[in-house]
Amino acid sequence: MRRLLAIISVFCLLAPQGVSADDDVLVAVASNFAPAAREIVEQFNETTEYRATLSSGSTGKLYAQIVNGAPYDVFLSADVARPVLLEQQGHAVPDSRFTYAVGRLLLWARNEKGDADACIDAFLDDRSSRIAIANPKIAPYGAAAEEYLRQAGLWEGAVDRLIVGENISQTLQFVSAGGAAFGFIAAAQAPFLPPDACLWDVPTTLYAPIRQQAVLLTRSRENEAATAFMSFLRGDGQGIVLGRGYATETGGD
Both 97 and 154 in one domain: the answer is no
Confirm whether 90 is domain-assigned: yes
120/112 Cα distance (integer angstroms): 10
| Co-location of 193 and 220 in the same domain | no
Q: Are residues 85 and 46 in the same domain?
A: yes
Q: How many domains does the chain contain in total?
A: 2
Q: Are residues 172 and 217 in the same domain?
A: no
222 plus 238 within the same structural domain = yes
| Residue 80 DSSP code | S
pLDDT of 114: 84
User: Could you tell me the sign of the dihedral formed by the alpha carbons of 78, 81, 84, 86, in that order?
Assistant: negative
Q: How far is CA 170 from the centre of its chain?
A: 12
pTM: predicted TM-score of the whole model, two decimal places: 0.79
Q: In the prediction, which pLDDT does 21 show?
A: 54
Separation between Cα atoms, residue 93 and residue 82, nearest integer Å: 13
**From CA 73, how far away is CA 84, in angstroms rounded?**
16
CA separation (Å) from 176 to 113, 185, 204?
A: 15, 11, 25
Q: Is the dihedral of CA 93, 13, 42, 139 positive or negative?
A: negative
- β 105-109/74-76 pair status: unpaired
pLDDT at residue number 72: 98
- Look up the domain containing 41 and give its range: 15-102+210-243
Residue-wise pLDDT for 90-100, tens only, equals 999 999 999 99
With respect to residue 170, please indicate whether it lies within any of the assigned structural domains. Answer: yes
- Specify the CATH number for the domain of residue 181: 3.40.190.10
Which tens digits make up the pLDDT trace of 74-113? 999 999 999 999 999 999 999 999 999 999 999 999 999 8
What is the C-alpha R_g of the chain?
A: 20
pLDDT by 10s per residue, the chain, length 253: 444 344 333 333 333 444 445 789 999 999 999 999 999 999 999 999 999 999 999 999 999 999 999 999 999 999 999 999 999 999 999 999 999 999 999 999 999 988 999 999 999 999 999 999 999 998 889 999 999 999 999 999 999 999 999 888 899 999 999 999 999 999 999 988 988 999 999 999 999 999 999 999 999 999 999 999 999 999 999 999 999 989 987 644 4
Backbone angles phi, psi at 18, to 5 degrees: 90, 10
3: in domain: no
Give phi and psi for 61, each to the nearest 5: -70, -45
Closest by CA position to 226, among listed 82, 86, 234: 234
Q: Are 184 and 107 in contact (CB under 8 A)?
A: yes
80 and 31 share one domain: yes
The answer to whether residue 7 is domain-embedded is no
Residue 21's CB is within 10 A of a number of other CB atoms, namely 11
Answer yes or no: do 113 and 170 share one domain. yes
Q: Is residue 252 a part of any domain in this protein?
A: no
Outline where the chain has alpha helix (H). 2-14, 34-47, 59-67, 81-88, 116-125, 140-151, 155-158, 168-176, 224-234, 237-243
